[in-house]
Amino acid sequence: MLSKKGMVRGLPLIEKPDSLCEGCILGKRHRESFPSRKSIRAKAPLEIVHLDLCGPMQTPSLAGKQYFLTFINDFTRKTWV
């Protein structure tokens, strides 16, 4: 468009292709969004607790421990390590 209207000097005119390859068509296709579903949330403290164990760590703690465990209360989001 810039070249056709003479807005840019030295820009070659690029012709539009007659057909598109399959990869171009698939790459430009609209993606559907993820289905929205209600997640299960706790209705009271300590009803759902998530835990995660991490380790072994390369550098031990001052007490010599190489692992740590986290607890997360789903209702209040309070975290204990």
Q: 34-79, pLDDT tens digit by residue? A: 777 777 889 999 999 999 999 999 999 999 999 999 999 999 999 9
Q: Which residue has the tokens 């292709």?
A: 17
Q: pLDDT band for position 8 (50/70/90)?
A: confident
Which tokens go with 40?
A: 């299960």
Task: With a cut of 90, say whether residue 3 has pLDDT above it.
Answer: no
Task: With a cut of 90, say whether residue 16 has pLDDT above it.
Answer: no
Q: What mean pLDDT do residues 1-17 have?
A: 74
Is the peptide bond between 60 and the residue preceding it cis, with omega within 30 degrees of 0?
no
Measure the CA–CA gap between 51 and 30, rounded to whole angstroms.
Answer: 37
User: Residue 31's pLDDT is what?
Assistant: 76
Q: pLDDT band for position 15 (50/70/90)?
A: confident
Backbone angles phi, psi at 50, to 5 degrees: -100, 140
